[in-house]
């Protein structure tokens, strides 16, 4: 068995599910906790979250970041 997408270093966020503006907003909100690298592909963004030194668990920071982007995207989707 392999590890899930939630444990990978780079995670793909497809734009049909994750809004690009929400991803930008989440990067801005997390800039004091982590450095988020975003590579833009065709219809998706590849992200890598590097927590600031002293962060308790890098995986948790990345997963919380993914949840935050998803929350923002869903709110935007339901409001449109």
**Rounded to an integer, what distance in angstroms lies between the CA atom of residue 5 and that of residue 28?**
23
Cα–Cα nearest to 19, from 56, 58, 71: 71
Binding site for another protein (CB under 8 A): 1-7, 11-12, 14, 16-18, 63-64, 66-67, 70-71, 73-75, 77-78
Beta bridge partners of 47: 11, 38
Nearer to another protein by Cβ, of 14 and 31: the residue is: 14
Query: Residue 11 CB, nearest distance to another protein (Å)?
Result: 7
Q: What is the rounded CA–CA span in Å between residue 12 and residue 18?
A: 10
CB of 10 to another protein, least distance (A): 12
Question: What is the nearest approach in angstroms of another protein to the Cβ of residue 44?
Answer: 9
3-state secondary structure of 63: helix
Q: Select 35 or 77, whichever has its Cβ closest to another protein.
A: 77
């Amino acid at each position: 068995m392999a590890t899930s997408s939630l444990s990978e270093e780079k995670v793909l966020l497809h734009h049909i599910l994750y809004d690009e503006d929400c991803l930008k907003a989440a990067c801005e909100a997390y800039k004091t906790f982590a450095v988020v690298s975003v590579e833009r592909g065709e219809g998706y963004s590849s992200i890598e979250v590097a927590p600031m030194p002293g962060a308790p668990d890098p995986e948790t920071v990345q997963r919380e970041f993914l949840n935050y982007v998803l929350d923002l995207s869903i709110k935007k989707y339901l409001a449109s």
